[in-house]
Amino acid sequence: MKNLLSLNDNKLLQIALILIFMSIYFLESSPVIKLNPLTMPIFWLLLAMAIWKLPCKGPAAKRKHKTLVKTWAIILAIIHVAMLILAGLVDGFGSSPYSHTILGIVSNSWIVAPPLLAREIIRGYLINTSMGKKENTLRIILISLGLTVATIPFARLLSLSNIEQTVQFIAQHLGPEFANSILASYLAYFGGPIASIIYLGILQAFHWFSPILPNLRWIITAAVGILTPIFSLLAFQHLYAVEIKKIKVHGKKESILSWMITSLFCITIIWFAVGVFPLYPSVIATGSMQPMIDPGDIIIVEKITDMEGLEALTVGDVIQFKQGGILITHRIEEINVVDGVVNFKTKGDNNSISDREPVKPEQVRGRIVKVIPKVGWPTLLLKQQKDIPLDEVEF
C-alpha cells in the first residue's frame, strides 16, 4: 500500500494540481493563444497519468460496494440519456453537428476523452484526499463548481453581454453541468474516479457519437439537465444508505425502479407546468369568464400551433390568446375571413360587450379543454405580493 503524504504536503500538492489544471484550462480556452486542438489532449493525458500515480486514500465505499457504485453510475447515466430522448420525442430531434466517419469518431474521441479523464481523476484525488470517512457537503460543492467552470470555454464566459444572455446561459449550460458535476463528485467519493468517468463518459458518448440529438428549447434543456441529476443523486444516496444498512427498511427493499418512476413523475410534472406537452396549465385572475371560470381557477389549454388546429376551432370554443403582452381567455363569438386571413371575434361570458380588436391567428395560444376550480389561488397571492395588478395579467 502507498504511504499517504502528510497533511501539509497534501495541501501543497492539491494547490499545485489546481494551478496546473487551471493553466491547461486557460491555455486551451484562451482567445489569445491559438494552439492546435489535437495537441491539447496530450497535456490532459500527462496530467491524468501524473495524478493517477500519486498516493491517495481510497473511496469511502468498502471494496464489496465499489462495483455496485459503478453499476449505479451506468444505470443513472442511462436514465439521463433516456430522459433526453423522451424530451426529444416531445420537443423534436435534430442532426448531430459532429462527424461520424471513422476519422471523425477517432478525432472527436481524442479531443473529448483526455480532458474527461484528467478532470475526473483530479476530482477523485481532491475529494478522497481532503475528506475523511464523513462526507463534507460544502467541499464537494466547491470542487464540483470549480470543475464545472473548467468545462466551459473561457471565451464563452466573456461573450455574455447582458442579463438575458447570462440567465439563459446559466439555465442551459452552467446549471446542468453543475448538477451533473455534483452527482459525479458523489460517485467519485464513494466509488472512486472510475465511477464518475463511467457516468460522464456515457453522457459524453451520447452527445458526441449519436447521429441524431434532441433539439430542445433552452428551458427544457435546463429542466432535464438539472432535475435528472438531482433526482438521481437522491436515489443514489438513498440506495447506498440502504445497501450499507444505515437506514432501516420495512418490508421489501426499495429498488432503483421505484426511484426511476418517482423521478420520471416529478420531471413530467415540471415539464407539464412549463408547457412541454401539448397541454399546459394557466391561472385565471379575473372574473370575465364567470360563471364558467372563476378567479383562482386553473385552466388546461390545448396548444394550437398550426393552421389545422385553427381551422378546427368553432363558434362557442373558449380560447386563450395574447394581446399586448397580456394573456386573455374568452369565448369565440364569430369567425370571419378578411383578405383571405381568418380572425376571431371574442367576448368574455361575464362582459357586457365584445372585445374591441379581432384575434389574429398568430395571437392564439390554444383552446381551453378543462377547468380545475380554485387550485390556482396560491399563484394569485404571489402575484399580489409582487404588486402585479391582477387585471393586467389575465382576463
Could you tell me if 206 and 84 are in contact, meaning their C-beta atoms sit under 8 angstroms apart?
yes
Angle of helix 137-149 relative to helix 102-130, nearest 10 degrees?
150
Could you tell me if 51 and 120 are in contact, meaning their C-beta atoms sit under 8 angstroms apart?
no
By CB atoms closer than 10 A (0-12, 13-18, 19+), residue 97 is exposed
Element (H, E) at 28: helix 7-29
According to DSSP, the β-strands at 364-372 and 298-303 are antiparallel
> pLDDT at position 305, please?
77
Residue type, 40: M
Question: How many other C-beta atoms lie within 10 A of the C-beta of residue 305?
Answer: 11
pTM higher than 0.75: no
Element (H, E) at 221: helix 218-243
DSSP SS3 for 39: coil
Q: Please provide residue 9's backbone torsions phi and psi, each rounded to the nearest 5 degrees.
A: -60, -40
d(CA 205, CA 163): 32
d(CA 199, CA 184): 7
Handedness of CA 104, 107, 111, 113 (dihedral sign): positive
Quick one: cell of 144? 464540483
Could you tell me if 118 and 201 are in contact, meaning their C-beta atoms sit under 8 angstroms apart?
no
Would you identify the CATH topology of the domain 279-392? Umud Fragment, subunit A (2.10.109)
Q: Which residue in 181, 259, 202, 228 sits closest to 87, CA to CA?
A: 228
d(CA 70, CA 75): 9
Could you tell me if 98 and 108 are in contact, meaning their C-beta atoms sit under 8 angstroms apart?
yes
> pLDDT at position 195, please?
94
d(CA 154, CA 19): 16
Residues whose CB falls within 8 Å of the CB of residue 154, separated by 6 or more in sequence, listed in order:
25, 26, 29, 30, 31
DSSP H helix total and E strand total for the chain:
13, 8
d(CA 81, CA 88): 11
> pLDDT at position 273, please?
57
Give the residue range(s) of CATH 2.10.109.10 domains in the chain.
Answer: 279-392
d(CA 118, CA 115): 5
Averaged pLDDT, groups of 10, the chain, 395 residues long: 49 75 76 70 87 74 80 93 85 85 90 91 84 71 88 75 77 88 92 93 94 84 86 84 62 50 60 63 82 85 83 89 85 86 89 88 88 68 46 41
> pLDDT at position 76, please?
94
What is the SS3 assignment for 68-121? HHHHHHHHHHHHHHHHHHHHHHHHCEEECCCCCCHHHHHHHHHHHHHHHHHHHH
> pLDDT at position 274, please?
55
